[in-house]
Amino acid sequence: MNDLEKYFYKNTGRQISKWKHYFEIYDRHFSQYRGTDVHVLEFGVSQGGSLQMWKEYFGPNCKIYGVDINPHCMTFEDDQIKIFIGDQEDRQFLHSVAEEIPRIDILIDDGGHTMKQLICTYEEMFKYIDKDGIYLAEDLHTCYWPYWSGGYKKRGTFLEYSKNFIDSINAWHSRSFRLKVSDFTRTVYSLHFYDSILVIEKRERDQPSEFQSGISTIPEYVPIENFRMKLNRKLRIIKNIFTKKEDS
């Protein structure tokens, strides 16, 4: 059991609401920040228990920020904990939050979990996360639940939306004009899809390059298909040259 899990099961203070398997995922991505002056922003305050848990886990130098639509959540402000009241679907409000926080190392989206809320929060806030920071959205099972406007392979769910991130992170290798290198390609190091959770680790990246080391001693196996493709391409080029000459 990691420290977060221990804290959760011993908790007699403010209520925390988390799925059991999340603790291993949090610890896997967040433990590197323990004891530092990490700035954590969590959407969804509810009873204030998770903010207390983060404060305990990250230590005396961390700064925890919570966002919730419920004005009663303001009562959960505390040492090292600041609360913002507003709607995570309100893009102006999101910008105003980002402007008040000096830095975001970790963003956790545990807010209302509707598709609009998830997409809006990602679209507006991702750029504000530090270049080496982490984005984590949880409870993504709502992407399958009609009440939250989810559904299997349904267009517009956050999971369908985020499946495109897999293409974006690989865009350096694209041969299609429809998939181009973007800020996402240049600033995202890895994507982690778990049950109900997506973690995005940011890190600046250059165009990837391949190298060989050591000595090659046997002829390489080249599939016959590659020969055929190359031959066909050459034949097409020759044919085009001759057709153009005949035209002129």
Q: In angstroms, give the least distance from the CB of 108 to ligand SAM.
A: 8
Q: How far is the CB of 18 from ligand SAM (least distance, A)?
A: 5
Round to whole Å and give the CA distance between 43 and 39.
13
Nearer Cβ to ligand SAM, position 105 or 139? 139
Please identify, using beta-carbon distances, which residue of 68 and 124 lies nearer to ligand SAM: 68
Residue 77 Cβ vs ligand SAM, minimum distance, rounded to whole Å: 15
Nearer to ligand SAM (CB atom), residue 145 or residue 189: 145
Terminal-residue alpha carbon distance, the chain: 78
SS3 content of the chain, % helix, strand, coil (to 5): 45, 20, 35
CA 248 to chain centre: 56
Identity of the residue, 80 or 117, whose beta carbon is nearer to ligand SAM in the bound complex: 117
Report phi then psi at 231, rounded to 5: -60, -45
C-alpha torsion angle, residues 236, 237, 238, 242 (rounded to 10): 100
Smallest distance from ligand SAM to CB 155, Å: 22
| Residue placing its CB nearer to ligand SAM in the complex, 138 or 185 | 138
Q: Which residue from 110, 107, 116 is spatially nearest to 138, judged by alpha carbons?
A: 110
Residue with smallest beta-carbon separation from ligand SAM = 112
DSSP β-ladder status, 39-43 and 104-109: parallel
In the complex, what is the shortest distance from the CB of residue 6 to ligand SAM, in angstroms, rounded to a whole number?
16
Distance of CA 43 to the CA centre of its chain: 14
Instruction: Give the binding site for ligand SAM (CB under 6 A).
Output: 16-18, 42, 44-46, 49-50, 67-70, 87-89, 110-112, 117
Rounded to a whole number of angstroms, the minimum distance from the CB of residue 185 to ligand SAM is 30
Quickly count: other Cβ atoms within 10 Å of residue 107's Cβ: 27
Which CB atom, from 85 or from 191, has the smaller least distance to ligand SAM?
A: 85
Measured CA to CA, the distance from residue 147 to residue 122 in angstroms comes to: 21
